[in-house]
Amino acid sequence: MAGALIEVVGLWKSFNGEPALRGVNLTVRPGEIHGLLGLNGAGKTTTLKCLVGLLKPDRGVLRVCGIDVVADSSYKDLIGYVPENPPLPEYLTAKEFLLFAARLRRLAGPGLSQRVDEMAELFGLKRHYSKLIYELSKGVRQRLAFAAAVVHQPSILILDEPFNGLDPEAQRTAKQVMREIASSEGGVLVSTHLLDSIERICESATIIHEGRTIISGTLDQLRSATNLGYSEPLEEVFIRIISSRRWVS
Amino acid sequence: MGLLTLLGLLVSAKFKQYLGRVKRSPRSLLSLLLVYLLWLSVVGAMSVVLRISGIVSGSGPRVFLENVTLILVTSVLAVGVFLGMKGGVTALPYEIYYVLTSNIRPIAFLLSDLVFQAIILSAFVLPPTSIVLAMLSYPYHVEYLVRGVPLYFAAIIFTILLGHLLGISRHWFGESRSRVLGWLMLVATFLPLLYLALGVETPPTLELHPSMILMRAVSGQHGELILIAPYYASLVVAYILVARGNFYPSVSPVLFTALMEPPRQFTKYFKTPQPIAKLFSINASGGRVSLMYRLHLTRVVREGTLWTGVLVLLFLTLANSAAPRLMRIGQFPEVAELTMIALYIPLLPALLSINWSLSERPNLWLVSLARGVERNYIAGLFLAYLTVTFPFALILYGAVSLGAEEIPFLQIDLVLLFSMSCFGALLSILTATLLRLSSTPLSITALLFVVLPVAGSILLSLPILVVRLFEPLATDPSLPMMANMALYVGGLSLLLYKIVVRGCSGRLVPAA
């Protein structure tokens, strides 16, 4: 699909012969915040891991900005990623970790420290700067992971349960960052169980079930696929779609 | 529920958790069995060597058994103190969250751990020592077995009580005082070996050391056992007193991996003093290799795994230096002693790589996301391992050479130490990247993490080892020979480095 920032077509992935993904399709266009929804074990995290290069897909097409993810790693410069419950090097201080993440992403020179400070300020990490990550609470670690994912100003953000442990203030900052990326013709793919958050920030979503895409489209398209009205909360729509397991895409 | 039923429940749950993988897979059961048989065969082979060298040096079986007892009891006590410093009580994570939050009394939990540790330690200590006893004391083996095995079991119980008390002492004395106490006890435990390693005459007060008492008891001086009674009495009284209190908040997980993973709770990261801290931190300058190099140095220093590895090596060196004197082998060549130390050196990167696999591998997602940093990562890791291994090898080697009144640092020594450090570091990285180590303390994989780098380094350094063992070549090497060896080590290191980089390509990812 021309112009798509993220394009996943017919993605398959197995673990020990047991298929976890059996044909996932989704598209994220410029300016879009796209939700990836599904029950526990549906294959959301596996899909995102294939997309960022942490897992090698068995088959299917994965493109980021038109770049084949499997064949060419240059797309990695364009993406930022927050994994679910991100493991972090606990022996580093918060500042050292941000510097490390920034330098991994080839930031250098006088702008490096300035950018790191900006991110720390934005996510309220300045007062934790000299603490070891080991000493930080779960929420502060999550903020740190988020700050590290955007320190190099990526045009595409891939987030796996990014609001885990975040307090309301940090959630607002995270959503603001997501909107800023989308508004500058970037894209965000976010997987979360917090459907009210998806409803507020996403224009479109994909629902996967047992490793397959069962529907993908704008939130209104999702609603119209059920017999529920447009005012129904996304939670109700999601449960109805999952219960019927209708195959749309 | 009665205390006995409760103990049975707690101990069986502990075993199910600890050996859980064994139940799920026959392959794991086979793996555990193989590790155990390997352990027994190594001990058996060592006993044969001791027996033969003893015959050559003219020592009788009684002297052997005394010496074996001294080394064994000291090691068992050291394990107890070491575990005590790490927490003492083998609490698995599920116990922290479910057992310790229940209404089970602390004394019941503590006793269940005493039984659990006694079974595990006995399984690993008693059969091998029985083999040693039987081989060394033949044809009087039955008499010695009857005398020795109960004494070793007593030492095991002694060490568990000691470990528990030390671990719980944090609750009463505080973290820092307890740590100081632990270090003092560790030094006290090693004193008999230390005196023997240094070749200094032991002071009369050292005769009251538990290891020395048991050493005399094993040779038939049963009257000596009365001297150990006050130790046990003090331990039991202290145990009953502390077990009455609620020490649960001080319990931390221990012994659920290969001892190289930092405990999850109450972990203390080392904060180095300011001038040194600059060396072990991440900053905004330098290239990517320098970034990775600093990352790994910072990790091993702050997590403290470097110190654990150094401690293991120091103990081995101590035992190695003490053994020949213990065996009264006057003609034991010092060169062999020094060579043995060189052979231990790859243990340090091997132990560090176990920790890398357990605690650093999950963080690899960060590295995987950045483009083209895999080579830098490997280079940084290699340089970090080499930086800690080679200087430590020099210090250890130099100290032992001076102690043995040998000329320290022959040219050939430097080449040998460098090659062992270099090959050890590279093979440790390769092993850790290719093999996935799970959090199971006893597995073939855990064994391979140690065996492959050590055996591989010895094999690759064999040409230098051979030269080191021949007197005129070692002390007065010709220039062409030195050049050849330098070329050999340099060339092979480069080749091995390229193999490591290629082997690790695409594998620097966290577990799926």
Q: What is the pLDDT of residues A102-156, one digit of tens each?
A: 999 888 888 899 999 999 999 999 999 989 998 899 999 999 999 999 999 999 9
**Has residue B269 been placed in a domain?**
no
Q: How far apart are CA B13 and CA B23, in angstroms?
A: 13
Confidence label for B327 from pLDDT (cuts 50, 70 and 90): low
Q: How far apart are CA B381 and CA B83, in angstroms?
A: 28
Helix (H) or strand (E) holding B381, with range, is helix B374-403
- Average pLDDT for B352-358: 87
Among A77, A91, A157, pick the best mutation site for testing chain B contact (most B Cβ within 10 A). Answer: A91
Name the residue of chain B whose CA is nearest to A84's CA: B365
**Has residue B6 been placed in a domain?**
no
Tell me: do B219 and B348 sit in the same domain: no
Q: What is the ipTM of this complex?
A: 0.85
Tokens of A200: 């507020």
Tell me: do B192 and B119 sit in the same domain: yes
Is the confidence at residue B31, as pLDDT, over 90?
no
Tell me: do B307 and B209 sit in the same domain: no
Answer yes or no: do B288 and A103 touch at CB < 8 A: yes
User: Measured between beta carbons, which residues in chain B are less than 8 angstroms from residue A88?
Assistant: 363
Confidence label for B266 from pLDDT (cuts 50, 70 and 90): very low
Sign of the four-CA dihedral A85, A89, A95, A99: negative
Residue environment code for A203-242, b if the CB has 16+ CB neighbours within 10 A, otherwise e? ebbbbbbebbbbbbbebeebbebbeeeeeeebeebbebbb
Is the confidence at residue B487, as pLDDT, over 70?
yes
Confidence label for B262 from pLDDT (cuts 50, 70 and 90): very low
Are the C-beta atoms of A26 and A34 separated by less than 8 Å? yes
**Has residue B1 been placed in a domain?**
no
User: Measured between beta carbons, which residues in chain B are less than 8 angstroms from residue A81?
Assistant: 365, 369
Answer yes or no: do A148 and B366 touch at CB < 8 A: yes
For all residues of chain B together, what is the average pLDDT? 80
Q: Which residues contact B53 (CB under 8 A, 6 or more apart)?
A: B327, B329
Tokens of B447: 């064994």
Bigger pLDDT: B27 vs B341:
B341
Please give the CATH topology (third level) of the domain spanning A6-244.
Rossmann fold (3.40.50)
Is the confidence at residue A1, as pLDDT, over 70?
no
Tell me: do B245 and B278 sit in the same domain: no
Q: Are strands A18-28 and A6-15 parallel, antiparallel or unpaired?
A: antiparallel
Among B266, B305, B366, pick the best mutation site for testing chain A contact (most A Cβ within 10 A). Answer: B366
Q: Which residues contact A177 (CB under 8 A, 6 or more apart)?
A: A122, A146, A150, A157
Q: How far A91 CA lies from chain B's nearest CA (Å)?
A: 6
Tell me: do B383 and B317 sit in the same domain: yes
User: Measured between beta carbons, which residues in chain A are less than 8 angstroms from residue B303?
Assistant: 91
Q: Which residue do the tokens 């044809």 mark? A: B139
Tell me: do B380 and B490 sit in the same domain: yes
Q: How far apart are CA B500 and CA B453, in angstroms?
A: 13
> Does residue A247 sit at the B interface (CB-CB below 8 Å)?
no
Per 3-state DSSP, what percentage of chain B is helix, strand, and coil (rounded to 5)?
80, 0, 20
Q: Which residues contact A102 (CB under 8 A, 6 or more apart)?
A: A112, A115, A116, A148, A151, A152
- Beta-carbon neighbour count of residue B274 at 10 Å? 7
Tokens of A213: 């895409």
Q: Which residues contact A163 (CB under 8 A, 6 or more apart)?
A: A171, A174, A192, A194, A197
User: How much of chain A exceeds pLDDT 90, in percent?
Assistant: 74
Are the C-beta atoms of B198 and B403 separated by less than 8 Å? yes
3-state SS of B155-208 is HHHHHHHHHHHHHHHHHHHCHHHHHHHHHHHHHHHHHHHHHHHHCCCCCHHHHH
Tell me: do B350 and B424 sit in the same domain: yes
> Does residue A131 sit at the B interface (CB-CB below 8 Å)?
no
| A49-A54-A57-A58 Cα dihedral, nearest 10 degrees | -130
Answer yes or no: do B295 and A134 touch at CB < 8 A: no
Tokens of B33: 């069995």
Q: Are strands A79-82 and A18-28 parallel, antiparallel or unpaired?
A: unpaired
> Does residue A87 sit at the B interface (CB-CB below 8 Å)?
yes
Q: How far apart are CA B238 and CA B230, in angstroms?
A: 12
**Amino acid found at A56:** K
Q: Is B470 helix (H, G, I), strand (E, B) or coil?
A: coil
Q: For residue B139, is the peptide bond before it cis, meaning its omega torsion is within 30 degrees of 0?
A: yes
Tell me: do B244 and B334 sit in the same domain: no
Is the confidence at residue A246, as pLDDT, over 80?
no
Tell me: do B195 and B298 sit in the same domain: no
Is the confidence at residue B217, as pLDDT, over 70?
yes
- Per the structure, the count of domains in chain B is 2
Can you give the residue range of the structural domain that contains B160? 37-250
Radius of gyration of chain A (CA): 18
Q: Is A204 helix (H, G, I), strand (E, B) or coil?
A: strand
The number of angstroms, rounded, from the C-alpha of A12 to the middle of its chain's C-alpha atoms is 19
Tell me: do B320 and B209 sit in the same domain: no
> Does residue A100 sit at the B interface (CB-CB below 8 Å)?
yes
Please report the pLDDT score of residue B337 as a whole number.
Answer: 66
pLDDT per position as a tens digit, A23-82: 999 999 999 999 999 999 999 999 999 999 999 999 999 999 999 999 998 999 999 999
Tell me: do B241 and B304 sit in the same domain: no
Name the residue of chain B whose CA is nearest to A52's CA: B369
Nearest residue, CB atoms, A54 vs list B282, B303, B509: B509
pLDDT per position as a tens digit, B402-427: 766 666 677 888 899 999 999 999 99
Is the confidence at residue A249, as pLDDT, over 50?
no
Tokens of B320: 């190695």
**Amino acid found at B426:** L
pLDDT per position as a tens digit, B109-162: 888 989 988 998 888 888 888 887 787 777 778 888 888 888 889 899 999 999
**Has residue B406 been placed in a domain?**
yes
The last residue of one of the domains, among B191, B218, B250, is: B250
Most confidently predicted of A30-34, A129-133, B58-62, B104-108: A30-34
Q: How far A193 CA lies from chain B's nearest CA (Å)?
A: 21
